[in-house]
Amino acid sequence: MTDARIHIVGAGLAGLAAALSLADAGLAPRLCLHEASNHAGGRCRSFHDAALGCTIDNGNHLILGAKPAVFGYLAGLGGRAALASPPETVFPFADLATGESWLLRPNRGRLPWWIAAPSRRVPGSRVGDYLQALRLLAAGPADSVADRLDRRSTLYRRLWEPLTVAVLNASPEEGSARLMGRVVREVFGGGAEGSRPYIAADGL
């Protein structure tokens, strides 16, 4: 049945990326993309707020350099230039409980020597704290992030916990350690370029 219809359920980013890939393969006439809402993009969208009189992004949807599939998708749409990035890979942090603030600054290259530099890493953390992340790479399918890391450490509270929530959209007690291990390997194992942040310059 070479002329069978191809149904894609959901016009979020995954559905749109699948449709684009199939269309590039010459299958556009057979595609049927389904979406229950009145817009494409899923949660990655902008909307006009009548009360404020402006356009608002539905979250910031930070993109990191270690995600080639995202950049391939944007290139296929002709939207790669819509992303903006700072000249240096720097992540500002603020601890509301103590009032402290600091910058996390991964270095260029794949060897993460930045964890040995107190000025680049999380205040109060030690090199050994970062090496604990290797335990995520050996996690089982049922392990959570909290199961594999030291919950009592400063680094857990100041980096791993907020990073897990931001990346997995789940608490460390619920988030998959195996999935988080892939994130750590791709992002921090890729040096400053792998962890370089990108945002939509003029709205999603």
Within-domain flag for 202: no
Within-domain flag for 38: yes
Task: Dig out the tokens for 7 from the structure.
Answer: 């149904």
- Kindly state whether residues 107 and 172 are assigned to the same domain: yes
- Kindly state whether residues 99 and 187 are assigned to the same domain: yes
- Kindly state whether residues 188 and 114 are assigned to the same domain: yes
pLDDT value, residue 99:
92
- Kindly state whether residues 167 and 108 are assigned to the same domain: yes
pLDDT value, residue 2:
63
CB 148 within 8 A of CB 139: yes
Query: Using CA atoms, how far apart are residues 142 and 81, in angstroms rounded to an integer?
Result: 40
Residue 59: closest CA among 48, 43, 40, 81: 43
- Kindly state whether residues 112 and 187 are assigned to the same domain: yes
- Kindly state whether residues 193 and 100 are assigned to the same domain: yes
Range of the domain at 154: 91-197
- Kindly state whether residues 18 and 97 are assigned to the same domain: no
Within-domain flag for 15: yes
Query: Using CA atoms, how far apart are residues 144 and 138, in angstroms rounded to an integer?
Result: 12
Within-domain flag for 113: yes
- Per-residue pLDDT tens digits for 65-119: 888 888 888 888 888 888 899 888 899 999 888 899 999 999 888 888 999 999 9
Within-domain flag for 86: no
Sorting pLDDT into bands at 50, 70 and 90, what band is 149? very high
* Distance, CA of 160 to chain centre: 14
Within-domain flag for 17: yes
pLDDT value, residue 123:
94
- Kindly state whether residues 96 and 183 are assigned to the same domain: yes
Within-domain flag for 157: yes
Query: Using CA atoms, how far apart are residues 40 and 13, in angstroms rounded to an integer?
Result: 8
Better-predicted residue by pLDDT, 3 or 64: 64
pLDDT value, residue 202:
86
Task: Tell me what the mean pLDDT of segment 194-202 comes to.
Answer: 87
The domain total for the chain is 2
- Kindly state whether residues 113 and 176 are assigned to the same domain: yes
Computed over every residue of the chain, the mean pLDDT equals: 89
Within-domain flag for 3: yes
